[in-house]
Amino acid sequence: MTGLFKASMPRRTRTVALAAGCILAATMAYAQDDSGPIYFAVASPLTGGSAAYGINAQRGGDLAVEAINAAGGIGGREVVLEYFDDMGTPRESAAVANRIVRDDKFCAVIGHVNSSSTLAAMPIYNEAGISVLNGSSSNPSITEQGWNNIIRMTIRGDRGAQQYSAFAINNLGHDELAIFYVNSDFGRALRDDMVKAVDALGAKVVAEETFTPNVDRDFSAQISSLRRGNPDVIMLNTDYNEGGLFLGQAQDRDFAGIDVVGPDSNLYDQFIELSQGAAEGAYLLAAFDPFADRDAVKTFMSDFEAAYDSLPSQVAIFTHDLLWLAKRAMEDEGATCDTLIDTAKSMNFSGAGGDYAWDEKGDVSGRTFAVIQVVDGQFVSTGKGVDETGLEALR
């Protein structure tokens, strides 16, 4: 039993453990043993309506762990992931968080995916003091609660909305925007933040229309109304089905010459297919650039394709990058599980999804969306970023 103890273990811990008895000692040794495997809890929706995200988290995580362990793990220790299904619901996420916290063995949590899940679970992680490495939760309030044990990879929602507007106004030089948005929490929040940013940048919204997701497929009335505003650019705050259908239906409505800018929820081949050619030239702003001319992303994309025969979403690449971040922080910067977040905030990390740095709150800083364009019926990287001039006032 004592063989499990290592010389580096603090004397006080050892004394307490021995006093508490063999069983307890064994558990504690398990938790704090620094030669055995190092455990991460990956919390994501593996079932339910957003299960596709969870599957991407799992795939990105598995790929990263395979490569990390092949490269000697973290500081010579094997990395083991345990997956927890939060079902994409706040209630289940809180339950999962309690299970993770109660099981003493985890070095850090990677998750959750849905913002509502992260918001529900964070108070529990914060109280337990466990480090949370978040990939894709974009709700602005997550980093506004004073929690100092979280960083996230994705660009938060309000800053995302600012960047879409800044791209249309600063990069493309337009000043009359039309907004077509999905009538959901996500779509309305995006629309509200976009309107504020457009205002701050001195441009104006000349028309806006919405639609009910998964019900409306006929956008002709909205198209006529948007066209009437005579915009320079359409902000397509939709997913790929509706975005593609909208452009397809608009092609006989005098939309030639109007630019299209959309979020990466449109970054699926079906977007191009459903638009029947009308997506040509559209700009999509993505949280990472899957088509970038960089070795790290090319390797990731080809490994992912080889392993799963599908394209990774941002959830996959962020989960992957978070594990590599943990390895770099602990091996190169001397972080422990407890200081992971503070160390990360002081780092500049380069992963498959690009370069990351974090501010005091745990938001990525100095990182903009990657600009992807549809050219000859294919998504291609433009290699450009977003010109953020004028957004300082909003931050």
Q: Would you say 61 or 244 has its CB closer to another protein?
A: 244
CA 259 to chain centre: 26
CB of 109 to another protein, least distance (A): 33
Q: Buried b / exposed e across 73-109, counting CB within 10 Å, b at 16+?
A: bbeebebbbebbbbbbbbebbbbbbeebbeeebbbbb
- E runs forming strands in 238-292: 259-263, 283-286
Residue 238 beta carbon to another protein: minimum distance, rounded to whole angstroms? 13
Nearer to another protein, 1 or 221 (CB): 221
Least Å distance between CB 231 and another protein? 15
Closer to another protein by Cβ: residue 266 or 368: 266
Q: Side chain identity at 139, as an amino acid letter?
A: N
Token code pair at residue 393 = 């006032």
Task: Read off the tokens for 337.
Answer: 């599980």
**CA–CA distance, 231 with 243 (Å, rounded to integer):** 17
Nearest distance from C-beta of residue 222 to another protein, angstroms: 5
Q: Please give the residues from 55 up to 114 whose contact with another protein meets the rule CB under 8 A.
A: none
Nearer CB in complex with another protein: 36/48:
48
Instruction: State the Cα–Cα distance between residues 111 and 8, nearest whole angstrom.
Output: 31
Closest distance of CB 294 from another protein, Å: 31
| Closer residue to another protein in complex, CB, 211/379 | 211
Residue in 196, 195, 246 with CA at minimum distance from that of residue 224: 246
Q: Which of residues 351-390 bind another protein (CB under 8 A)?
A: none
Nearest to another protein of 7, 215 (CB atom): 215
Spell out the alpha helix ranges (H) of 138-184. 157-166
Nearest approach, Cβ of residue 29 and another protein (Å):
50
Q: How far apart are CA 55 and CA 46, in angstroms?
A: 6
Q: Which is nearer to another protein, 230 or 302 (CB)?
A: 230
Contact status, residue 41 vs residue 111, Cβ threshold 8 Å:
yes
Site string for another protein, 324-343 (x = CB under 8 A): --------------------
Tell me how far, at minimum, the Cβ of 227 lies from another protein, in Å: 8
**Binding residues for another protein, how many (CB under 8 A)?**
29
Q: How far apart, in whole angstroms, are the C-alpha atoms of residue 327 and residue 274?
A: 42
Residues 212-271 that bind another protein (CB under 8 A): 212, 214-218, 220-222, 224-225, 228, 241, 244-245, 248-249, 251-254, 270
Smallest distance, another protein to C-beta of residue 280, A: 15
Give 47 or 214: the residue with its C-beta nearer to another protein: 214
Give bridge partners of residue 255 from the DSSP assignment.
none
Q: Select the residue interacting with another protein from 234, 274, 279, 370 (CB under 8 A).
A: 274
User: Cβ(40)–Cβ(324) under 8 Å?
Assistant: no
* Comparison of 38 and 258: residue with beta carbon closer to another protein: 258
Only one residue has tokens 């977003």, namely: 386
Report how far residue 365's alpha carbon sits from residue 271's, in angstroms, rounded to the nearest whole number.
30
Least Å distance, CB 255 to another protein, is 10
H/E stretch holding 152? strand 150-152
Please report, as residue ranges, which positions from 170 to 209 form the binding site for another protein (by CB under 8 A).
Answer: 183, 209
- Of 126 and 225, nearer to another protein (C-beta) is 225
Of 103, 90, 114, 128, the closest CA to residue 41 belongs to 103
What's the min distance (Å) between Cβ of 209 and another protein? 4
DSSP state of 215: T
Using the structure block, give the residue that is written with the tokens 């630019």. 259
- Residues ≥6 apart with Cβ < 8 Å to 198: 165, 169, 177, 204, 205
**In sequence order, what are the residues at sequence separation of 6 or more whose Cβ sits closer than 8 angstroms to the Cβ of residue 149?**
125, 126, 129, 130, 131, 132, 341
What's the closest the beta carbon of residue 48 comes to another protein, in angstroms?
16
Among positions 164, 186, 211, 291, the unique one binding another protein when judged by CB under 8 A: 211
- Residue from 170, 210, 266, 319 in contact with another protein (CB under 8 A): 210
Residue closer to another protein by CB (options 26, 221) is 221
- Write out the residues near another protein by the rule CB under 8 A: 183, 209-212, 214-218, 220-222, 224-225, 228, 241, 244-245, 248-249, 251-254, 270, 273-274, 276
